[in-house]
Each structure stands twice: as C-alpha cells, then as structure tokens.
Amino acid sequence: MERAQSLMKDKVALENEIRTLELNLKGMSATRETPLVDSEGFPRSDIDVAAIREIRRSLICKQNDLKALMTEIEQSLISLHQGSKVSSEPKPVTMRRPFARISIVEHNSPASEAGLLAGDKIVAYGLVNASNHDKLRLLIEETSNNIDKPIDMEVERVVDGQPQLVELKLRPRRNWGGDGLLGCFILPL
C-alpha cells in the first residue's frame, strides 16, 4: 500500500513538472507545435529557439517518465489487490499452460544466473501468462519495467520425462557482458 501511495505522489510531482514546463513554453509565446524556423527554413529571430527546444526535450522525457510511472503504479495496484484476496478453498494442483519457450541461454547472463535452461517453457513471467501475453509484447514490457528488479517466474521443465513446475527469480539488467537484458532467446509457443 505504501509503495502505491509513494508512486502516486511521484506521479503528482511529475505532472506538476510537466505543467511548469508547458507554462514556460507559453511564456515564450510558443507551444509544442510552434514552428522554430521561418518560411525560408532559417531559425526564427523573434523567439529563443534553443531554450524552446530544450523545454520540448524535457517535456518529452518527463512524459516518457510519466508513462513508465503509470505502468509501475498499475502493476503495484494489481499486486496489491491480488495480495489482498483471501480464499478458504484449496487451490487445485494443475499445470498451467505455457506460452513461450527458452531456446538459448547465454553463459553468465541474468537468465543463466536465475537458473533458466534451454527448453524451459514459460508459464508465468511476473504478471504475464498465457491469457494476456499479447504475442509476447507484455513480456517485453514487463522486462523493460523491471530492470534491476526481480521478476517471479514459473517455468515448465521436463525432468526424468515428467513435466515439473519450477519457480525462479529473474533480474533483468544491462551491462552483464552480452546483448539484451536477459541473455536468452524466447520464442512464442
């Protein structure tokens, strides 16, 4: 709950920063769409082109930050509500349907450190599962939104000819010595 409240405060602060930047633009007699060059293609002399470009750049960055924050708030609220559900009925022990397969795992990668193996089939990846992965787009989004944060995973792994559900924690990160954030290739099923 505290995490969600903290994120909401960050959202309000970020929205205020965006409003301030928009007011700064307005004070310079410009908007996000105001042309910065005249009809001949030269920078306009009646406005501060460099300052307007810097404010526009800051606005774009802040809006991207706001999008990422909104996604984080959404995930926080979902996990908060999922955690508050109490059920007195026992959960059936069944294998859920996998939606992707690990084809290659790079040595010393975040994937290999988490214990992923080539051939593992992904059943759950954070909040992503077979019913909502949207052709793996949400898996990519979940990875991007959780850089340097652990993601709970469930994979189906065949051991001694029998499928087993294995729980892992994968921490996507940059600069691990290879390409990508995970160090593995994931294919849809």
pLDDT digits (tens, 9 = 90+) for 53-89: 999 999 988 898 888 888 888 887 777 666 544 443 4
Whether the pLDDT of residue 47 is over 60: the answer is yes
| pLDDT: which is higher, 112 or 89 | 112
Whether the pLDDT of residue 111 is over 90: the answer is yes
| Average confidence score pLDDT of the chain | 85
Q: What is the mean pLDDT of residues 164-178?
A: 90
Q: What is the mean pLDDT of residues 11-19?
A: 89
pLDDT band at residue 2 using 50, 70 and 90 as cut-offs:
confident
Which residue in 7, 122, 139 sits closest to 73, CA to CA? 7
Contacts 24+ apart (CB under 8 A), 21-25: 21/55, 21/58, 21/59, 21/62, 22/59, 24/55, 25/52, 25/55, 25/56, 25/59
Under a CB-based contact definition with an 8 Å cutoff, are residues 150 and 171 in contact? yes
Q: Judge residue 120's burial from the number of C-beta atoms within 10 Å of its C-beta, 0-12 exposed, 13-18 middle, 19 or more buried.
A: buried
- DSSP assignment, residue 32? S
What percent of the chain shows pLDDT beyond 70?
91
